Structure 1
Amino acid sequence: MAYEVTKDLETGNTLIDSEHRQLFQAINNLLDACSQGKGRAQIQSTIQFLNSYVGKHFSDEERLQVESKYPDYPAHKRFHEGYKQKMAQVTNELAANGVNISSVGKVNEAAGILVTHIRTEDKRLAQHVKSAK
């Protein structure tokens, strides 16, 4: 299953949407490599990218929240911190155990959490940022 930023996931904020696309592309690249038996070769670069890019993306979102005085900033930040920990666990497991059914399932689970977050919280954030201008 490929992940993509569909209309229902677009926030309307150019920065947020472009970063979501890059995150999904990295996840898709890893899953594609796994399905072709090349996951082990792709793991390390994808792990490094995902962990650094999730941090960058969340920092960008949090900056927008602070600048626009987003009222749900504390809860959104808590989600970000928890998600970074989840990604670290998933990527550590991939690095330690390699690609297997369990690790691919955990990558998909982490992507699913991100999709749900985008569909609800990030869309709400983008609407607030737009109305705050």
Structure 2
Amino acid sequence: MAYTFTKDLETGNQLIDSEHRQLVDAINNLLAACGAGKGRMELANTTKFLQDYTAKHFSNEEKLQLQYKYPDYATHKRYHEDFKRVVAGICAKLEKEGPTIPLVGEVNSTIAGWLINHIKKEDVKVAAYIKGK
């Protein structure tokens, strides 16, 4: 099941929303590859992209939060650090075990679920705060 970037995922910040779209697209590309029986082949590309891109994206978000003195910055940063550890763990599994079907499933459920939930619950709060400034 592909993810759709709907209104409830928009933060109203053009940079953040465009980066979120790219993250959702990466998950959807993996899902499409799975549907075509090529999920294991696409797994390395997706995990590498997620590892690199989330670092860039989280850095951009955190700079905005500092710029606008977001009061819950420390908690939000901790969420980002936790997620980076999850992605690093998946990358380590991939390196150790290779592209397994269970690992594809873990990326699809864990990574996609976390991103969507984080955007809807946390990033929209940041965006609302910034809009109010």
Structure 2 length normalisation: TM-score?
0.91
In the alignment, residue 42 of structure 1 is paired with which amino acid? E
Is residue 2:124 matched to residue 1:117? no
In structure 2, the residue matched to 1:70 is 70
Residue 53 of structure 2 corresponds to which residue in structure 1? Answer: 53
- Structure 2: state its 5+ residue gaps: none
How many Å apart are 1:123 and its aligned residue?
0.1
Cα 1:93–1:35 change in 2 (3 A) is farther
Tell me the SS of whatever aligns to 2:47. Answer: helix
**Gap runs ≥5 in structure 1:** none
Moved more, 79-88 or 90-99: 90-99
Alignment-derived partner of residue 105 in structure 2: 105
> Does residue 22 of the first structure (1) align with residue 22 of the second (2)?
yes
Root-mean-square deviation over aligned CA pairs: 1.3
Secondary structure, aligned partner of 1:23? helix
Shift of 1:75: 0.1
Q: How far is the alpha carbon of 1:41 from its aligned partner?
A: 2.6
Query: Residue type of the partner of 1:97?
Result: G
Once residues 40 and 106 of structure 2 are traced to their aligned partners in structure 1, the CA distance between those partners, rounded to angstroms, is 16
Q: Match for residue 126 of structure 1?
A: 127
Q: Report the CA distance between 1:92 and its aligned residue.
A: 2.6
- Which whole-Å deviations, capped at 9, do the CAs of 1:106-130 have from their partners, x for residues lacking one? 1122211111111011000011112
Alpha-carbon contact 1:62-1:73 (below 8 Å) kept? yes
- CA deviations on 1:4-45 (whole Å, 9 max, x unpaired) are 221111111111111110001011111211221212332222
C-alpha distance in structure 2 between counterparts of 1:40 and 1:110, whole Å: 16
Change (3 A) 1:32 1:91: farther
Identity among equivalent positions (%) equals: 53
Q: How many residues end up aligned between the 2 structures?
A: 131
For residues 31 and 6 of structure 1, what CA distance do their matches in structure 2 show?
Answer: 18
